[in-house]
Amino acid sequence: MLDNEMWWRLGSFVSILTIMMLFEWLKPARQSSIKMTKRWTANFGLVIASSIVVRLIIPVGLTIVALYNQEHNLGLFNQSIITLSSLLIVPNWIFVVVSLLILDITIYWQHRLFHTVPMLWRLHRVHHSDTHVDSSTGLRFHPIEIILSILVKVIIVSLFGIPAIAVLIFEIALNGLALFNHANIRLPHAIEKPLRLILMTQILHRIHHSKVVNETNSNYGFSVIWWDKLFGSYKDKALKNDSDLDIGLTQYSDAKQNASLLGLLMMPFRSK
């Protein structure tokens, strides 16, 4: 699996994106006030810009970092595997599961900090300025935020000695679930109700994209709802119904600001 990492990640990404966009086309939950092609040009443009910048600044992938740590016995888990293996049988899958939980809670707190710290919010508001939420919104992040997120994950992967296979699984899940919970769809109630007991569904995540501040500062999880419930940031419903929810940021109602690639790239450096 690790030998074909690029194809696993690319194949999963393209497959999930295609499926979500197909469902959005067949039965959209909400209608966009901005022409779809204009939003997509900006959102997908950010993906391309981020990919180029990241490749130039951080040419080594997270799985390479994890493999290097494993080869040199760096990190808590790599040391623990050696120690525990000499004392008792500990299945490697336990380290993988624990690693996935660590990475997941890391992204939860990273996301929460990007809402709390003013300088970080300047970057993250690029994501929240979208006045419509669909699968492309799950890719709408400023390149600098992407770089900071990768650096956070490099630190965690190195500190704990996260196994390379756990990194690959997590990265695929991170991208896939971001596309899923941003998708402009509304699951049938019979499916959405039990699913939201575990996962961050589209309705729950759209609350996070509400213009109401205390709603924006909730439902930070990208996958499971556990961390939001554990740390008091879970909100199961908004003041308005999902179909009437005001999406975006009040200060970025102009399409030139929130739906142009140049406007999004420059947004963190503007005072407004």
pLDDT greater than 60 at residue 81: no
Q: Residue 218 — pLDDT band, cuts 50, 70, 90?
A: very high
∠ Cα 159 164 166 (to 5°): 90
**Is residue 212 helix, strand or coil?**
coil
What pLDDT is attached to residue 80? 61
Q: Poorest-confidence range of 15-19, 82-86, 218-222?
A: 82-86
Residue 87 clears pLDDT 50, i.e. is over it: no
- pLDDT of 4: 67
Query: Are 125 and 29 a contacting pair, CB within 8 Å?
Result: no
When computed from its CA atoms, the radius of gyration of the chain, rounded to whole angstroms, is 19
Amino acid identity, residue 211? K
For residues 63 and 68, give the distance between their C-alpha atoms in angstroms, rounded to a whole number: 8
Could you tell me where the DSSP H helices lie in the chain?
A: 5-26, 36-57, 62-71, 76-85, 92-116, 118-128, 143-160, 164-182, 189-195, 202-208, 213-216, 226-230, 255-258, 261-266
Q: Confidence band (pLDDT; 50, 70, 90) for 137?
A: very high
- Check: CB of residue 184 under 8 Å from CB of residue 135: yes
Residue 64 lies in domain: 2-269
Q: Is the pLDDT of residue 271 over 80?
A: no
pLDDT in tens, 162-197: 999 999 999 999 999 999 999 999 999 999 999 999
**Residue 244 buriedness (CB in 10 A; 0-12 / 13-18 / 19+):** exposed
Structurally, the chain folds into a number of domains equal to 1
Report d(CA 185, CA 26) in Å as an integer: 9
Question: What's this model's pTM, rounded to 2 decimal places?
Answer: 0.91
Separation CA 150–CA 6 (nearest Å): 17
pLDDT band of residue 91 (cuts 50, 70, 90) is low
Higher pLDDT among residues 23 and 259, named by residue: 23
Beta-carbon-side half-sphere exposure of residue 30 (alpha carbons within 13 Å): 21
